[in-house]
Amino acid sequence: MARQDSNTSSGSTVINVPLNQKRHGVLESEPEIPIVSYLGPISSYTHQVYTLVQFTTPAWIISLTDFDLAQAALQCFDSDRYDYKPATTIPDVFEAVQSGEAALGVVPFENSTNGAVIFTLELLADRHASFPDITVCGEAYLDVSHCLLGRKARNSNDSSELSGTSTGTATPTSSMPSPGKPRTSPVYSIQHIKRIYTHPQAFGQCENFLQAYLKGVERIDVSSTSRAAEMVKEDTSRESAAIASSLAATVHGLDVLAQGIEDREDNTTRFFIIRKGVDERAKDTRNPTKSLISFTVDHRSPGALADVLDCFRRAKLNLTSINSRPTKVVPFQYIFFVEFEGSRLKDPDGRVEEALSGLEEHTQSWRWLGSWDDKLIKL
């Protein structure tokens, strides 16, 4: 018999959004402002999600490839409705929400080019029950266009300085026999760049450019793209570069050495909005919905995973993503994540409940991680 984690029983636990942040120097009677925690510092992609979304816009499909729009993102900061607080890491966002310090958190979940954000999956796996009350209550899709930010080489003014730079053709190697073609070339010479900082997800989204123009250059993982820009700003040697947004270039006063360096033009990151407990208002939604569960199965039992998936097939619920992370209890055994169309909070024909009740029989343990409005525009 499966064990269902405490916060998920019947899905009806309601914990009100904590409103624990007072406006500066105001009277006790004035309304308190909820905090939104995001992966900072300012100008990370996560920051750009909430500045444009503001948790009120109906269509959370937004594009920040346009420089002016990115600029506008900072200005449309709805400081009357929310206080925004940058966190250093994705675990810090989860901790802020679980502790009640923040009412909402914004975390990256997956990227269309580079796949799942394992840092977020690790936290959703919640092996030590550190985040028992966290649920996903929303999603947002953001077009992500990366730049190479740094300082121009001394005496470098324009692309005429590019002589001697690589031609943009990556050399085939045994590990990469047919390297992809970069979509863009540098605007300025980048021969002086000796190290590149960024978030590991961003490295994975720019492989073709890096292979073609910065092969063999040291890569240093940092907690966010905006932190990378901050570090490059602090380095006076001019030898460091960051992969980050054009907004980060403006915020940190860096040169855009190359832009649009992502492998695919349709590079998109999906973010989750997380909260503590359940948002009662989700029961009134009229929109298409999605839900996420995690579970473990008996790995010695043939077909155990297929049996779980069959619960969704029988209930005629379409699956939208499947991920896994190691259990870290027994090597090569996994915690699975299944995302499907439908809401546990608004389930008029009982299909979600039907599928979830099947989990009792076919899993060792499972947890409902939330239901929210589906924001993907289906083509």
Ligand X SMILES: O=C(O)C(=O)C[C@]1(C(=O)O)C=C[C@@H](O)C=C1
Binding site for ligand X (CB under 6 A): 39, 44-46, 108, 111, 117, 144, 199, 201-202, 224-226, 269
Considering beta carbons, is residue 22 or 264 the nearer one to ligand X?
A: 264
Q: What is the DSSP string of 120-148?
A: HHHHHH-TT-S-TTEEEEEEEEEE---EE
Considering beta carbons, is residue 362 or 375 the nearer one to ligand X?
A: 375
Give min distance, CB of 93 to ligand X, in A: 10
Considering beta carbons, is residue 72 or 306 the nearer one to ligand X?
A: 72
Give min distance, CB of 24 to ligand X, in A: 27
Give min distance, CB of 174 to ligand X, in A: 29
Considering beta carbons, is residue 96 or 282 the nearer one to ligand X?
A: 96
Give min distance, CB of 332 to ligand X, in A: 26
Give min distance, CB of 165 to ligand X, in A: 26
In angstroms, what CA-CA distances link 20 with 99, 132, 295?
Answer: 11, 20, 33
The continuous run of DSSP H or E covering 213 comes out as helix 207-213
Give min distance, CB of 199 to ligand X, in A: 4
Please state, in angstroms and rounded to a whole number, the distance separating the CA atoms of residues 52 and 316.
35
Token reading at 224: 């966010």
Taking 3-state DSSP, the helix, strand and coil percentages for the chain, each rounded to the nearest 5, stand at: 25, 25, 45
Token reading at 379: 């083509």
The number of beta carbons lying within 10 Å of the beta carbon of residue 156 is 19
Token reading at 275: 């909260």
Give min distance, CB of 257 to ligand X, in A: 18
Q: Given strand 218-221, what is the order of strands in its sheet?
A: 218-221, 195-198, 240-244, 147-150, 255-259
With tokens 């990556």, the residue in question is: 170
| Type of residue found at 70 | A
Considering beta carbons, is residue 89 or 165 the nearer one to ligand X?
A: 89
Considering beta carbons, is residue 249 or 317 the nearer one to ligand X?
A: 249
Considering beta carbons, is residue 33 or 117 the nearer one to ligand X?
A: 117
Give min distance, CB of 16 to ligand X, in A: 28
In angstroms, what CA-CA distances link 289 with 107, 137, 154, 274, 282?
Answer: 19, 10, 53, 15, 10
Please state, in angstroms and rounded to a whole number, the distance separating the CA atoms of residues 42 and 46.
9
Considering beta carbons, is residue 91 or 277 the nearer one to ligand X?
A: 91
Please state, in angstroms and rounded to a whole number, the distance separating the CA atoms of residues 333 and 129.
18
Q: Contact 250/66 with Cβ under 8 angstroms?
A: no
Considering beta carbons, is residue 144 or 210 the nearer one to ligand X?
A: 144
Give min distance, CB of 343 to ligand X, in A: 25
